[in-house]
Amino acid sequence: MSIRSVRGLLTGLLLLGVVPGTMAASVKGNADAGKKIYLESCQNCHGPTGKGDSDMAAYLTPPPANLTAKATQTKTDVQLRKIILEGRPGTAMTGYGGAFEEGQLTDLIAYIRSLKS
């Protein structure tokens, strides 16, 4: 195989891999499905509508974030995903790595976006 055909093959593989990957990343999550996950896993700290106003809040330092606030809404999806997966050290926010499928994470983020005040 010549160098050129190897390069062509690699480019082809790259396109095959990258194009669907890019499409998947831009597919919007389902906020309704995300809400279900949120109510099960997040509302006990972040409150029923994400404002950080749960009963738990009084017992947590720092308190759970207000997800409707600018500080959260101006973060990118990538940043939110990272916080959800890894948690925030030194706070009650534990990482959910392994807890959710990719699609569930996308739905969860779509729901957080829908909370924008």
Positions touching ligand HEC (CB under 6 A) are 41-42, 44-46, 60, 62, 64-65, 67, 71-72, 75, 80, 83-84, 88, 91-93, 96, 108
Cβ atoms 73, 65 nearer than 8 A: no
- We find the least distance from the C-beta atom of residue 93 to ligand HEC, in angstroms, to be 3
Nearer to ligand HEC, 84 or 110 (CB): 84
Nearer to ligand HEC, 1 or 78 (CB): 78
Q: How far apart are CA 58 and CA 88, in angstroms?
A: 18
Question: Residue 49: CA atoms inside 13 Å, Cβ hemisphere, count?
Answer: 5
Dihedrals phi, psi of 50, to nearest 5 degrees: 80, 5
- We find the least distance from the C-beta atom of residue 24 to ligand HEC, in angstroms, to be 20
